[in-house]
Amino acid sequence: MIRKTVNGVEEATKGIKDNMTFMLGGFGLCGIPENAIAELVRKNINGLTCISNNAGVDDFGLGLLLQQKQIKKMVSSYVGENDEFERQMLSGELEVELIPQGTLAERCRAAQGGFPAFYTPAGYGTEVAEGKETREFNGKMYILEKAFKADFAFVKAWKGDEAGNLIFKGTARNFNPCMCGAAKITVAEVEELVPAGTLDPDQVHIPGIFVQRIFQGKNYEKRIEQRTVRKR
């Protein structure tokens, strides 16, 4: 049986260097690879291009890397909860590529499936389409979007086994699955790591072939980005 387990986040991030491109799973603050992000901060890796749905908040998630000015470019869909992100973008310190959310997901999936590019109608006639090839299909215009190229994908799952099979829980099943296998090396951190053969195959969301390294994370905060409660 192939074992993908490594001894913690330090070993899981072996080989990372300045100026690399990383994919980071999660939606808002849900299902983000907290341990991997903390290790990138600790190792002071700089000049990063980060592909993620959003950029965390000022003091959590990718916001921690932004605080240390370790990110050179953000490729995202939504960035409205981070004041430091806004400041760096408006000052020209941070390069930003905003992408429609569905296109962001599909560019991950294209990389995962080995497809170099695909056509989508999203963004046609807007700034999103500037400089891109367009084509008509059945009377409708489409934009050619290219698959992402990334060095590492960091994802977070609820449960995984030693062979790299993953199960995601609830809303954490967002951008994490489509980023698995979409980079040269996929690193999965899980809340619970079990022996191979323990997981019910019918419950597995991502098979181990898409994962190169897996470890059991610790000290998850699981913050709530916007807490909304009903008045009594």
Q: Where are the domains positioned within the chain?
A: 18-98+150-216
The predicted pLDDT at position 222 comes to 78
CATH-assigned architecture of domain 18-98+150-216:
3-Layer(aba) Sandwich (3.40)
Structure tokens at 135: 């084509």
Q: Which of 52, 171, 69, 181 is nearest to 114 (CA)?
A: 181
Sheet holding 140-146, edge to edge: 117-120, 140-146, 134-137
pLDDT in the model for residue 227 = 79
Note the pLDDT of residue 180: 98
**Whole-angstrom distance, CA of residue 93 vs CA of residue 216:** 35
pLDDT at res. 129: 95
Average pLDDT along the chain, 232 residues, taken 10 residues at a time = 92 97 92 95 96 89 93 92 89 94 96 97 94 97 98 97 96 94 98 96 96 95 80 81
Q: How far is CA 110 from CA 7, 14, 40, 95, 106, in A?
A: 31, 26, 26, 24, 6
